[in-house]
A = this chain, B = another copy of it.
């Protein structure tokens, strides 16, 4: 076992201080599903009145926990309390009838202990695919978790859902609306098997704002496209991706559709968490932002961005601090989207690298090599064909990615 134990060099200095969100309690436990000596189950307990929305992986082999959440998200009624229960170490995906039994057993137990309808209990599992989940280990700790609940549990919660993550991920944002201040906070996990749609991620967002379910859903769905659906670590998509958001309404401040301050705050928060996921990309040493400018269509812009972000050759060049811009040209060329060779402009940061079908006259290898030493690399490609722009984030591809993932059943 060649585990990489070190924390990502791109990790933030520390987990942010996240104040309590009224109406949200957390609890964690060590059930010993796979990991020993750490917590591996998280329970979020939500007061009555909490509205819940979510977006999920589009994988055709998605897990039963995801299918169960998808069903409940449209049906659940906020008059009762609710809960989110998550385990790390086993994805309970492709586990057939047993997978369904595990989800039923876990959500039933939480429902009974909290005395809330089962339709209000959402579950996620993350870890290895195809192995039976020993759900009794989780059921055994539910009573104790409910007894131990605390309002100040974001950091512990973020730690308990980690798998190959090297640091817990959290973010918080105070939003001042014209009716008063609300708080939005969230935690995330994810570091490998990250790609749209969606990143291999679990994300749980909480706010004390009062937001109707349909309105909450439209915020999440829209902002998800330009945040969690705009990141990639390895181009692989998981069977378990889940983003859930709970709005407790305890602040008494009501958020309607098209509230600019709420939308901006939530975008900030989701972007921050999405970046944290990429920065914990397995083996990552560089954070890469890809801007596609003036594409013919939004679809084309995203197609070019993904082609560059998922190119092993581009990502290994960045790892080697090699300004090998020819590989970006290659990645644009191989994408199915429209590009005209002689209209393409490539930039590293503000440095014009290539234009008119050739290297830019002002560009020098030394300029590019110096730029590549940065920890954050910005690649911009101006296609000169239209007005569609997009931004996408990824990381470099290093030996550590290989070591982590070729390790037997990491």
Interface residues of A (CB under 8 A from B): 57, 59-62, 91, 93-99, 128-132, 192-193, 195, 234-239, 310-313, 316-317, 319-322, 324-327, 329-335, 338-342, 344, 354, 356-359, 397-399, 401-403, 405-409
Bound-state Cα–Cα, A142 to B312, Å: 37
Closest to A316 in B: B405
Bound-state Cα–Cα, A402 to B317, Å: 9
Chain B residues, Cβ within 8 Å of A409? 322, 324
| Copies held by the complex | 2
Main secondary structure of the interface of A (DSSP, over half): loop
Nearest 6 interchain pairs by C-beta: A129-B326, A96-B358, A320-B406, A61-B333, A59-B333, A237-B334
Chain B residues, Cβ within 8 Å of A402? 316, 319, 397-399, 401-402
The listed residue with most B CB atoms (<10 A of its CB), out of A132, A235, A406, is A406
Chain B residues, Cβ within 8 Å of A340? 60
A237, B330: Cβ atoms closer than 8 Å: yes
A235, B310: Cβ atoms closer than 8 Å: yes
Distance between A130 CB and nearest chain B CB, rounded to angstroms:
4
Chain B residues, Cβ within 8 Å of A358? 94-99, 130
Closest to A94 in B: B329
Distance between A112 CB and nearest chain B CB, rounded to angstroms:
27
Chain B residues, Cβ within 8 Å of A319? 402, 406
- 19 CB contacts below 8 A, A to B, read A60-B333, A61-B333, A93-B326, A95-B358, A96-B356, A97-B358, A129-B330, A130-B326, A130-B354, A130-B358, A195-B334, A235-B312, A239-B329, A312-B397, A312-B405, A320-B408, A322-B406, A399-B402, A402-B402
Closest to A322 in B: B408
B61, A341: Cβ atoms closer than 8 Å: yes
Contact of A333 among B62, B310, B324, B406 (CB under 8 A): B62
B239, A333: Cβ atoms closer than 8 Å: yes
Chain B residues, Cβ within 8 Å of A193? 313, 330
A332, B61: Cβ atoms closer than 8 Å: yes
Bound-state Cα–Cα, A98 to B359, Å: 11
A311, B399: Cβ atoms closer than 8 Å: no
Bound-state Cα–Cα, A340 to B405, Å: 27
Bound-state Cα–Cα, A61 to B354, Å: 13
Closest to A372 in B: B408
Bound-state Cα–Cα, A317 to B358, Å: 39
Chain B residues, Cβ within 8 Å of A234? 312-313
Chain B residues, Cβ within 8 Å of A62? 333
A237, B61: Cβ atoms closer than 8 Å: no
Bound-state Cα–Cα, A339 to B311, Å: 26
Known contacts A235-B311, A398-B402; 13 additional CB pairs below 8 A are: A60-B338, A93-B326, A94-B329, A128-B324, A128-B326, A129-B330, A130-B326, A130-B354, A130-B359, A237-B330, A239-B329, A320-B407, A322-B407
